[in-house]
Amino acid sequence: MKGKAALQAVGENRMLKREDLLLYLCTDRGLSLGRPITETVEAAIAGGVTMVQLREKAAPTGEFYAIAREVQAVTRRRHIPLVINDRLDIALAIGAEGLHIGQSDLPLREARRLAGDMFIGVSTSTLEEARQAQADGADYLGVGAVYPTGSKADAGEAIGLAGFAEICAAVRIPVVGIGGINTANTAAVIRAGAAGIAVISAILSQPDIEAASRTLRMIIDNGAK
């Protein structure tokens, strides 16, 4: 399925294709060198980003909603799934394709009951959390921090590549590596069993966002062969 039909399948039938997770951008306006969020998202998608997660930890609800609408206009036009971080209300209000929640957010079973056909990802950092999220119905996992990172204040202690690989091997659903991932270690994360990588500063803090995305995507595509 291509283009608009593929995007409708994600939103209407809770279908999440593994290839959607290859290069997963998590937004952070504070790390984007002052560039408008729509500009950064547009450039990242042009370079090969396959999914966008909108993270607005400090934004009031009205502002978050307005930003979500702006970003959604870009992702819909480019036929890329948009995932809302933490805020189920925002995801429902804009009709986002997905929701991503952490261990301290609304429990997955409750989020699933309310979210309808939206797909849901869960952040995990331990084998126990990963297995529980799978049992509760997560569509994919964001696992990490794989490496030490300064991009996410709540990332916790790095689990290392061995810990990441153990979680990948223990679950059936796709796993996305996050935390300290860059051009130097992307291939190792893919080889460890990742369906893809999630990055922030490796794309958003680079002078040329499109070029940074294209380089990461090339590494991923080569590593997945």
Q: Dig out the tokens for 92 from the structure.
A: 């429902």
Report the largest interatomic distance among the alpha carbons of the chain, rounded to a whole angstrom.
43
The conformation of residue 103, written as its DSSP 8-state character, comes to T
| Residues annotated catalytic, as ranges | 55, 123, 152
**CA dist., res. 22 & res. 136, Å (int):** 23
DSSP 152-192: -TT--S--HHHHHHHHHHH-SS-EEEESS--TTTHHHHHHT
Closest CA to 204 of 23, 31, 21, 24: 31
> What is the distance of C-alpha 191 from the center of its chain?
19
